[in-house]
């Protein structure tokens, strides 16, 4: 059933059980104490009177039949309040009852040698003693009123116990509700979030409590989730945005070409433009795939010992034609510097940075690529003599699709992702990339990886 | 009709320019924001097609600074289609907004609409006496019969019809019918006007001597 699974109901059940046990224990103990107390008092009174009677009959005296003659002060002891009167009875050794103030029908107790013995008989409490002479003396009293008092006490205890029990249940219910209220709030917020409202947060009522801690942790999780979703949405928006322009080119070209008959040269021109747009889209899609792979995979893949110098030199060689086309000089100055990494990815990062330095250079400018070891690091530096980057743009240049010029098209399929990819690769390798720029003078990128020992035991490189 | 096209994507600039010229517009082009703003301020264009992402000066700034002095209708082209961007475009003073990629037909229709609205016309079809100018189909009929006009003749007629009741100076006509690459002589205007009169009747276009032409 549902409510046996509810924490609140289960808490209430256990709470009720415990409370009932405690109350029952307390109540019965209190009642038992009261009863013992009363019985003890009555017994002491009986013992006292037992002494008087025994004194009156004497050790060897055989008491006369009928009432004992007691001194008046002692006689008084046997005439209490009505209903509380004490009585006595004396039996001889042979079993005959000799003296009695008792109502008729008090049975002769069994012979029990030794000290006086107490017994309860219905509403009566009696004490009897077999004297050494063989007589049996019994003193008794009606304790009906005490018994009635005890019954009243029992009812009172049960009643107040019940009241306390109900009060306790209500209090427990309230405390459980209070304790569980933050849980309800967390549940409600989580439900809203799962319905898609990612901006919802739990209001931590008491940030020091266990639930406050939970709320904080959940809020952090929600914030990270929201940021991830926002990044994803931004990325998708940017990606579709980047694809729109080449698609616009293709649409404009095809629609305008197909509007009427044209000479073959115009068709060729149009197809060439479509081809360029398609190339750009391909470049963009490839970059997007690379980034998507990086986003989904935390590790750089198979690691090997790579020489950053060789990787940089190869990247430069690959990009030489681009530099020539742009009339940009490119120089390489490398000393071997090994690091652990995925050679293909490192080459891509280096290539992207160098291509960026060429692309944003001025005609007749130069790019200087150096690799060296420095304090346990392998460092790649790419310095250009380009237009530089304004301080306002500098913090953003590694963002996806960020371009300093608010436009695309350097005709080389520059997607605005090159530096973002380079940064993703470097960070995945545990390296760091930073940039310094002086507008008008040029920009310098520095990439730093932890150097690896070139030769080491068992082929394992030190990190 | 003379249009300024500001777009930094070379292939798009070329193909849109060609398509617009084939539609009968005189088209000037600019490949960055600064050049676009300069031309838009200098010349009385009938409309400006303005890309948002431009080098040197982005489309928003071009639009904002153009609006300081000119009311030329502006159609913004952008690759962003967030509502925020559309609102910003329209609030900055753009007359219309088109998201890339777009169909050429839609671009043409929106251009016609903003030019028409700027001239105070609300319908595609302008009736002048017996002549009917359909600016959407770029067709002219006289008493229900189609009249064959050259592209220039049509543009001249359309411009005068859109500014019906106003006297349009020869300079204005020249500015609106020929683009920067066109070095036609201004007396060509007289040739086009006389051809139009032959095809549509002599009463249609009046000559205001010393001022220009007018359609009443």
Q: What is the pLDDT of residue A78?
A: 74
Q: Does residue B74 sit in the same domain as residue B147?
A: no
Domain boundary residue, one of B86, B118, B150: B118
User: How many domains is chain B built from?
Assistant: 2
Q: Does residue B85 sit in the same domain as residue B138?
A: no
Per-residue confidence band for A83, with pLDDT thresholds at 50, 70 and 90: low
Q: What is the mean pLDDT of residues A300-309?
A: 81
Q: What is the pLDDT of residue A103?
A: 66
Picking from A406, A415, A416 by the largest number of B CB atoms within 10 A of its own CB, the best residue to mutate is: A406
Coil/strand/helix, residue B204: coil
The residue to which tokens 């992702």 are assigned = A417
Task: Examine the pLDDT at A60 and tell me if it is beyond 70.
Answer: no
Q: What is the pLDDT of residue A409?
A: 45
> Which residues have CB under 8 Å from A329's CB, separation 6+?
A323, A364, A365, A366, A367
Q: Does residue B109 sit in the same domain as residue B6?
A: yes
Taking only the tens place, the pLDDT of each residue in B72-99 is 999 998 887 777 777 887 888 889 988 8
Residues 236-255 of A with CB under 8 A from B: 237, 241-242, 244-245, 247-253, 255
Q: Does residue B173 sit in the same domain as residue B134?
A: yes
Which residue of chain A has the CA closest to B13? A249
Q: Does residue B57 sit in the same domain as residue B159?
A: no
A299 versus A325: the higher-pLDDT residue is: A325
Which of B8, B12, B18 faces A249 most closely, judged by CB atoms?
A: B12
ipTM above 0.90, yes or no: no
Which of A248, A260, A409 faces B100 most closely, judged by CB atoms?
A: A248
Using beta carbons and an 8 Å cutoff, which residues of B are at the interface with A? 8-12, 14-16, 18-19, 22, 32, 53-56, 58, 79-80, 82, 99-105
Closest CA to B58 of A281, A417, A404: A404
A230 versus A84: the higher-pLDDT residue is: A230
Which residues in chain B have their CB less than 8 angstroms from residue A267's CB? none
- Residue A414 contacts B where some CB pair is shorter than 8 Å: no
- Residue A284 contacts B where some CB pair is shorter than 8 Å: no
Q: What is the pLDDT of residue A359?
A: 85
Q: What is the mean pLDDT of residues A176-192?
A: 84
Domain range for B142: 125-215
Q: Does residue B135 sit in the same domain as residue B114?
A: no
Domain boundary residue, one of B65, B92, B118: B118
Q: Does residue B60 sit in the same domain as residue B144?
A: no
C-beta pairs of B169-176 under 8 Å, 24+ apart in sequence:
B169/B211, B169/B212, B170/B212, B170/B213, B172/B44, B172/B212, B173/B212, B173/B213, B175/B2, B175/B43, B175/B44, B176/B1, B176/B2, B176/B26, B176/B44, B176/B46
Please tell me the distance in Å from B9's CA to the nearest CA on chain A: 6
CB neighbourhood size of A74 (10 A): 15
- Confirm if B211 and B166 have CB atoms less than 8 A apart: no
Which residues in chain B have their CB less than 8 angstroms from residue A273's CB? 11, 14-15
Q: Does residue B12 sit in the same domain as residue B103?
A: yes
Please tell me the distance in Å from B38's CA to the nearest CA on chain A: 19
Which residues in chain B have their CB less than 8 angstroms from residue A251's CB? 101-104
Q: What is the mean pLDDT of residues A370-384?
A: 90
Largest CA distance in chain A: 160
Q: What is the pLDDT of residue B47?
A: 93
CATH number for the domain spanning B87: value is 3.40.50.2300
Domain boundary residue, one of B102, B118, B134: B118
């Amino acid at each position: 059933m549902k409510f046996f699974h509810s924490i609140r109901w289960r808490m209430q059940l256990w709470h009720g059980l415990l409370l009932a046990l405690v109350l029952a224990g307390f109540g019965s103990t209190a009642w038992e104490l009261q009863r013992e107390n009363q019985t003890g008092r009555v017994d002491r009174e009986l013992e006292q009177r037992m002494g008087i009677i025994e004194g009156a009959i004497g050790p060897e005296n055989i008491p006369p039949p009928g009432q004992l003659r007691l001194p008046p002060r002692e006689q008084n002891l046997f005439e209490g309040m009505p209903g509380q009167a004490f009585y006595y009875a004396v039996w001889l050794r042979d079993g005959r009852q000799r003296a009695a103030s008792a109502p008729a029908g008090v049975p002769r107790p069994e012979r029990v040698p030794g000290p006086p013995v107490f017994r309860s008989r219905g509403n009566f409490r009696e004490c009897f003693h077999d004297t050494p002479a063989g007589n049996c003396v019994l003193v008794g009293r009606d304790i009906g009123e005490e018994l009635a008092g005890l019954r009243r006490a029992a009812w009172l205890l049960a009643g107040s116990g019940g009241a306390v029990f109900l009060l306790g249940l209500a209090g427990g219910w309230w405390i459980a509700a209070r304790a569980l209220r933050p849980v309800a709030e967390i549940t409600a917020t989580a439900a809203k979030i799962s319905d898609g409202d990612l901006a919802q947060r739990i209001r931590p009522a008491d940030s020091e409590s266990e639930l406050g801690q939970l709320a904080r942790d959940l809020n952090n999780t929600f914030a990270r989730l929201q940021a991830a979703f926002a990044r994803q949405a931004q990325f998708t928006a940017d990606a579709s945005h980047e694809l729109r322009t080449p698609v616009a080119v293709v649409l404009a070209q095809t629609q305008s070409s197909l509007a009427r008959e044209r000479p073959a040269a115009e068709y060729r021109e149009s197809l060439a433009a479509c081809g360029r747009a398609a190339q750009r889209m391909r470049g963009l899609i490839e970059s997007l795939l690379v980034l998507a792979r990086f986003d989904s995979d935390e590790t750089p893949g198979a690691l090997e010992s790579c020489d950053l110098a060789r990787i940089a030199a190869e990247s430069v060689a690959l990009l030489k034609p681009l530099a020539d086309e742009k009339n940009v000089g490119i120089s390489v100055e490398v000393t071997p510097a090994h690091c652990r990494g995925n050679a293909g990815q490192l080459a891509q990062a280096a290539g992207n940075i160098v291509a960026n330095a060429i692309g944003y250079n001025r005609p007749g400018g130069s790019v200087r690529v150096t690799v060296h070891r420095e304090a346990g690091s392998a460092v790649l530096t790419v310095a250009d003599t380009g237009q530089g980057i304004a301080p306002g743009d500098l913090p953003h240049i590694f963002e996806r699709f960020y371009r300093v010029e608010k436009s695309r098209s350097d005709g080389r399929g520059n997607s605005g992702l090159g530096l973002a990819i380079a940064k993703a690769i470097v960070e995945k390798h545990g390296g760091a990339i930073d940039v310094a720029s002086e507008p008008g003078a040029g920009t310098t990128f520095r990439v730093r990886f932890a150097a690896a020992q070139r030769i080491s035991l068992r082929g394992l490189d030190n990190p | 009709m003379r249009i300024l096209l500001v777009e930094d994507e070379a292939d798009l600039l070329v193909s849109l320019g060609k398509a617009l010229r084939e539609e009968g517009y005189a088209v000037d082009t600019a490949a960055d924001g600064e050049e676009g703003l300069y031309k838009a301020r200098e010349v009385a264009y009938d409309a400006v097609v303005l890309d948002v992402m431009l080098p040197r000066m982005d489309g928003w700034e071009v639009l904002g600074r153009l609006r300081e002095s000119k009311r030329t209708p502006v159609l913004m082209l952008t690759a962003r289609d967030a509502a925020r961007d559309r609102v910003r475009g329209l609030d900055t003073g753009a007359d219309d907004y088109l998201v890339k990629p777009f169909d050429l037909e839609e671009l043409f229709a929106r251009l016609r609409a903003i030019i028409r609205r700027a001239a105070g016309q609300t319908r595609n079809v302008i009736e002048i006496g017996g002549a009917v100018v359909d600016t959407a189909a770029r067709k002219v009929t006289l008493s229900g019969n189609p009249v064959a006009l050259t592209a220039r003749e049509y543009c001249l007629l359309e411009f005068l019809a859109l500014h019906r009741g106003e006297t349009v100076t020869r300079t204005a006509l020249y500015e609106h019918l020929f683009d920067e690459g066109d070095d036609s002589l201004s007396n060509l205007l007289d040739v086009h006007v006389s051809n139009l009169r032959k095809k549509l009747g002599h009463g249609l276009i009046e000559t205001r001597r010393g001022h220009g032409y007018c359609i009443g």
